Amino acid sequence: MERQHEAQDGIQGQPRGDGGPRRFVRDRIPRGLWIRVVLYGLVGHVFAAFLLLLFQLGE
């Protein structure tokens, strides 16, 4: 009977709902999203520094 569950699950050697390596991959933030968040943060800080510089020079 256990062999039937393995065949239906599509992953041999792991029982259903194990939460093995596949669960870890699903819980991670995608690399592209992580890079975009970091870049937007850096660009936002550079833009804020530029605005601050303009205000300092305008006084």
Task: Residue 23: name the closest of 35, 6, 33, 11 by CA.
Answer: 11
**According to the model, what pLDDT value does residue 50 have?**
98
**According to the model, what pLDDT value does residue 12 have?**
60
5 or 27: whose pLDDT is higher?
A: 27
**According to the model, what pLDDT value does residue 30 have?**
92
Mind listing the pLDDT tens digit for each residue in 9-48? Answer: 555 655 555 555 666 667 888 999 999 999 999 999 999 9
Kindly list the distances between the CA atom of residue 34 and the CA atoms of 3, 39, 47, in Å, as whole numbers in the listed order. Answer: 40, 9, 20
